[in-house]
Amino acid sequence: MNYLLPFIILITIVVFIHEYGHYYFARKFGVGVTDFSIGFGKEIFGWNDKHGTRWKVCWIPLGGYVKFFGDRNVFSQAEQKEIINKYSEEDRQKLFILKPIYQRSLIVAAGPLANYVLAIIIFALINMTVGKDMTPAVINEVQKNSPAFDAGFKMDDKILYINNKKIESVMEVSALINTSTSETIEFLVLRNDQEISLLVKPNLVSTKDYLGNSVKKKIIGIKLSPPANGYAKEPLSPTKAIYYSIKEVWFVTTASLNYLGQMIIGSGDSSQLGGPIRIAKITGQVAEYGIIPFFSIMAYISISLGLINLFPIPMLDGGHLLFYLFEKIMGKPLNQKTQEGFFRIGLFLLIFLMFFATFNDLKEIGLF
């Protein structure tokens, strides 16, 4: 329960924000919304609002959905006309299928975008209150016979860039090393007022993260220590806080895409791909460290949910956007047989991904 409760709270908030993005733009464009559900399965409780929307919470808290008035796939112009004739002129104004493509696209894309907005807001609030770490990345120790030692790193080197990305905090070094997809990593360090470029090939080792979970990390053999007065965290102005928040969201998104790309071509570590069990475990572990770490992990999960839903896979928001692109190009929706074929492929991919991630989760906790 120590892990389950924080996970339910986190996933409920993230899913609600995602679905509210869909709901907000649907209402903005005059689309009728019949259901706003958090979770799947049987309803636990709910209520109807003045617009006729049923707001409800269901038993399975692993997602949610917004159902539009008259919502269904329209495979052909003939079928669309048949559906339209079933409704009065007033009801036709509320039909999602009759809205222009750009409105339908915005309604669908609004869910993932809302997740990105949530992450930016969380990071910005943390940057303005707790502050952002600005401790210089100065090397305190270079381990002998390590990749860093062989590459020529020395004690008191200050790391300025990693793979042409500026280092503004000691906390960024490990993240950039471990998200690098290249075999060799380029460092630019400052030594005796001189900038020196160094190339290092990290070792991949199995270790434990600070939560005690098994992970594979890229190690180069350096130790970075903060100054005697500790980490230099400083609260940021709203403008700077938002800037660094957007920068963090962009970094997480690109790093995730690079990781998935490496998995697809067979060079990535697929064992690190986790599902709901691992997310619940990590959420519970992080929550024990306080409210700030909990909201931080919420931001990262929100980014992941937004990104995954933008993938051009049928049954996801990105798949619907792909269909709308085809419709725009062709001047009509894809035919029934084609759409059903895409949906079968999408369903297969999602089920395969779900089972693969769950297998990794169960393997990690020792059931396989």
**Which residues partner with 46 through β-bridges?**
56
Residues in the chain: 368
Asked if residues 189 and 151 have their Cβ atoms less than 8 Å apart, the reply is no
Asked if residues 193 and 228 have their Cβ atoms less than 8 Å apart, the reply is no
**CA torsion through residues 250, 254, 259, 260, sign:** positive
Q: Within 10 A of 195 (CB to CB), how many other CB atoms are there?
A: 11
Tell me the H-state helices in the chain: 4-28, 77-84, 89-92, 101-129, 147-151, 171-179, 238-264, 276-287, 291-309, 317-330, 336-364
Asked if residues 274 and 358 have their Cβ atoms less than 8 Å apart, the reply is no
Sequence-distant (≥ 6) Cβ neighbours of residue 181 within 8 angstroms: 258, 259, 261, 262, 268
Give Rg (Cα) of the chain.
24
Q: Cα(69)–Cα(238) distance, rounded to whole angstroms?
A: 40
Asked if residues 33 and 11 have their Cβ atoms less than 8 Å apart, the reply is no
Asked if residues 364 and 270 have their Cβ atoms less than 8 Å apart, the reply is no
Catalytic (active site) residue 19: yes
DSSP string for 241-303: HHHHHHHHHHHHHHHHHHHHHHHHTT-S-GGG---HHHHHHHHHHHHTT-HHHHHHHHHHHHH
Helix (H) / strand (E) element for 233: namely strand 233-234
Active site residues: 19
